[in-house]
Amino acid sequence: TDKYAVIGNPIHHSKSPLIHAEFARQTGEDIEYSAIEVPLDGLQNSLQQLRDVLKLKGINVTVPFKEQVWKITQQKSARAELAGAVNTVVFNNDGSLFGDNTDGIGLCRDLVINHQVELAGKRILLLGAGGASRGVIAPLLEYQPLGIFIANRTASKSSHLAELFAHLGNVHGGGFHDIAGEFDVVINATAASLQGEVPPLPDKVLASGACCYDMMYSDTDTAFIQWAKAQKAEKTIDGLGMLVEQAAEAFYLWRGVRPQTASVISLLHNKT
Measure the CA–CA gap between 7 and 18, rounded to whole angstroms.
14
The answer to whether 129 is a known ligand-binding residue is: yes
192 contacts ligand ATR (rule: CB under 6 A): yes
191 contacts ligand ATR (rule: CB under 6 A): yes
Q: Which stretch binds ligand ATR (CB under 6 A): 95-103, 146-154, 217-225, 255-263?
A: 146-154
Minimum distance of ligand ATR from residue 84's CB (angstroms): 10
197 contacts ligand ATR (rule: CB under 6 A): yes
Site string for ligand ATR, 198-237 (x = CB under 6 A): -x--------------------------------------
* Rounded to 5°, angle at Cα 241 from 37 and 57: 40
Residue selected from 32, 34, 72, 130 as contacting ligand ATR according to rule CB under 6 A = 130
Q: How many residues bind ligand ATR (CB under 6 A)?
A: 17
CB-based contacts of 255, cutoff 8 Å, min separation 6: 27, 29, 31
Residue selected from 8, 99, 104, 128 as contacting ligand ATR according to rule CB under 6 A = 128
Instruction: Tell me the CB-side half-sphere exposure of residue 32, using CA atoms within 13 A.
Output: 8
Measure the CA–CA gap between 59 and 250, rounded to whole angstroms.
9
Question: Please, which residue, 5 or 85, has the CB nearer to ligand ATR?
Answer: 85
Residue selected from 132, 140, 185, 248 as contacting ligand ATR according to rule CB under 6 A = 132
55: Cα separation from own chain's centroid? 27
Residue selected from 45, 154, 260, 272 as contacting ligand ATR according to rule CB under 6 A = 154
8 A C-beta contact, residue 124 and residue 183: yes
> CA nearest 245: which of 135, 114, 139, 144?
114
CB neighbours (10 Å) of residue 170?
Answer: 16
The answer to whether 80 is a known ligand-binding residue is: no
157 contacts ligand ATR (rule: CB under 6 A): yes
8 A C-beta contact, residue 240 and residue 217: yes
3-state secondary structure of 32: strand
109 contacts ligand ATR (rule: CB under 6 A): no
CB neighbours (10 Å) of residue 178?
Answer: 15
> CA nearest 214: which of 243, 183, 237, 246?
237
Instruction: Give me the active site residues, please.
Output: 66
3-state secondary structure of 179: coil
156 contacts ligand ATR (rule: CB under 6 A): no
Residue 46 backbone dihedrals phi, psi, to 5 degrees: -65, -40
Closest-by-Cβ residue to ligand ATR is: 130
> CA nearest 161: which of 194, 200, 186, 131?
131
The answer to whether 156 is a known ligand-binding residue is: yes
Question: Please, which residue, 59 or 132, has the CB nearer to ligand ATR?
Answer: 132
Which residues are annotated binding-site positions?
14-16, 62, 87, 103, 128-132, 152-157, 215, 217, 239, 246
Which residues are annotated binding-site positions for shikimate?
14-16, 62, 87, 103, 217, 246
Binding site for ligand ATR (CB under 6 A): 128-133, 152-154, 157, 189-192, 195, 197, 199
